Amino acid sequence: MVRARLFCLILLAVLVSGQISDLRYTETNNDNLGEAIQFLREFDREAAEMCNRVANAEWRYSTNGTEFNKRRMREQQNLASKFECISWRRAVSFDSSRIIDTSIRRQLGRIVQQGRCGLGDDKYAELQHVLALLKDNYNSAKVCPFRRIGTESTDLGTFSSAAGGYTSSNYVSGYTGYCDLKISPDLTRLMETSRSESELRHYWVAWREKTGPPVKNTFMRYLHLANQAAEQHGFHDAGEQMRSVYEDGDFFFTVNDLWGQVQPLYKQLFTYVRKGLVRHYGEHEIRRDGPLPAHLLGNMWAQNWRHIIDIVKPNPPETPDISGEMVRQGYTPIKIFQTAEEFFTSIGLSPMAPEFWRNSVLQKPNDGTGQCSASAWDFCNKVDFRIKQCTQVSLDDFTGAHHEMTHIQYYMQYASQPFLYREGPNPAFHEALANAITLSVGGPAHLQKIGLLNSPVTVSNGNTMVNIEYLLNLALDKLPFMAFSLALEKWRWYVFEKGPVGMNARWWELRLRYQGVIPPTGRGFEHFDAGAKYHVISDQDYIKYFVATVLQFQIYAELCQAAQHYGPLHTCDIYRSREAGRILSDVMQQGASLSSAQLVKLLTRGKTSRLSVDPLLEFFRPLEAWLEVQNRDEQIIGWSSTMEDVALFQPLLGRNGQRASTENFTFVLLLGMFMGNVILNKAFLS
């Protein structure tokens, strides 16, 4: 106890004084188990206290975004970063490979392998500064409103292939108002609701002009520093370091194989969506056998297509208005969360603690302060867990409440684990578990069971139009997101390994390959379209969403089997199944003490330790059969690419700035595409 307190006092003194550069741990190849246990005991308490201080500071800023609260939050985050690096230096002084105790070895490994502390103090500070610049540019980006002058396209100016597309000076010709539209909620809502091609094009281009080119050079510095850090942590590059958290030496091939099995279903959905878009916008915008323009899919990044279901499915919905029914039955934000709590207690899990109801923010404050994005919070003291959600009485927020409360249940279940194990075994597990629960509570079977849906939904018949509409909505949400996350991460892994040369063309090559999506305007070398996505410029893992989508159906299927469900998988509801709750609790309690493969084996009761898309395909099988009927007259299932599609992001010019001859252009283009594929494949096979 005395040693622990002494370590604490020294640590805090160092942190407060900022003299971290004077503190060095010497690598001694120490395999003393007693010293390792003592270090981890000290770390466990200090890390939890540090986490609590950071969480409190972030909560205050999130619920009251003053400049003072922002400064206090940054101070605590900086202290946490310094603590992380001090702990890393201490952890690397142990030779964990010679420590017999597997739990001690695993905990040391979780400290040593991740993070960027191997850079040293100066470069670590520079990396943090670079990331702050990237995030500040993104968060402060604002664009001008679309204005119709004469015709819809007047604002956009004249397209210039030499300039790579429309320039920002063309956006609002003649407009004198304020250019103050931010990505959330303004542009997000506009991309979801507008059905004007020229308006959508305007916002799509404007957002990328503001977020990409200004930080392109800064991002390249980030790539260099991240790779240097990865090398210091024993990895070939930062992409390999990011993949290492999945504890799968063949992870690249694993995700490739999984997507290969899902792709036929995705192509059926893609073809049905294209038919609706052609019907709405006409063949002058979209070829009947071609890829889809990225700005017409209801989302700034074309990662989620559910907001264009009114275009995709022309007939009026047969599913009743669940949100309206909730209003009629007197649901409130509090009642929504009470209903979510009752779901978990019905399967044998714990109710929410009094601190949860006292401290959570479950509806938008009257003063309008704070951020409204839904989130679940663990204050790292084993008792204080909260949700922040500006809840509306709607089906989306009903399922969202269950999603966030699943995170809280996970926090509560693994709270007794050492601090390093108080998370999922990889970044996908939290989302996978939360989404598995929403598959149960958001389906027609559960909504009927709790009195929010009166349409006929039977276990034996999963092919009613109510079921098809539910599956279609879910597929528009899940499947494009899988393709997008795979393309994004493949791109990032590539630029980490091969460098930033031609990275914008590579971005669109992968988007076309996996998603069948092309830019609405020409994109040149000066653009940086990946920078329009926050997770790219903020150094956040994204393949976790792909893995979480696969894993959630795997978890859901196992829980349904435990609940003794019979019939189509998508009609399963685990409500009131104590056996399903027992399995869920067994998995949650482990936290990160087991690897993901070990947890999957526990979940499946020994049947497999690998990810599988079979449950996902089984879930969507009725929809796939329906889509095949809808697409029977289509000339191609999926998409075919032409030279014009590829030329949007692979511009080739002649000596005088004009397009090269068709013959030469064709040869060079095909050769470039072939060589690009060879390089890409070699990069990941080496």
Is residue 531 a contact partner of residue 492, using CB atoms and an 8 Å limit?
no
**Is residue 404 annotated as part of the catalytic site, yes or no?**
yes
Strand pairing partners for 375?
388
Spell out the SS3 assignment of 568-599. CHHHCCCCCCHHHHHHHHHHHHCCCCCCHHHH
Q: What share of the chain is helix, strand, coil (3-state, %, to 5)?
A: 60, 5, 35
Give the span between the Cα atoms of 31 and 28, in whole angstroms.
Answer: 9
Annotated binding-site residue? 246: yes
Nearest Cα residue to 604 out of 548, 549, 547, 551: 551
Give the span between the Cα atoms of 185 and 211, in whole angstroms.
Answer: 16
Q: Which of 126, 535, 618, 624 is catalytic?
A: 535
Distances, alpha carbon 533 to alpha carbons 137, 297, 488, 490, 491, in Å: 12, 16, 9, 15, 13
Count of H helices and E strands in the chain? 27, 4
What is the dihedral sign for C-alpha 89, 95, 97, 103? negative
DSSP string, 27-64: ---B--HHHHHHHHHHHHHHHHHHHHHHHHHHHHHHHS
Annotated binding-site residue? 570: no
**Is residue 46 annotated as part of the catalytic site, yes or no?**
no
* Amino acid present at 540: Q
Is residue 539 a contact partner of residue 241, using CB atoms and an 8 Å limit?
no
Q: Which of 404, 423, 489, 558 is catalytic?
A: 404
Question: What CA dihedral angle connects 417, 423, 428 and 432, to 10 degrees?
Answer: 70
Is residue 369 a contact partner of residue 63, using CB atoms and an 8 Å limit?
yes
Which residue ranges are tagged as binding site for chloride?
246
Which residue ranges are tagged as binding site for Zn(2+)?
403, 407, 431
Which residue ranges are tagged as binding site?
246, 403, 407, 431
Catalytic residues: 404, 535
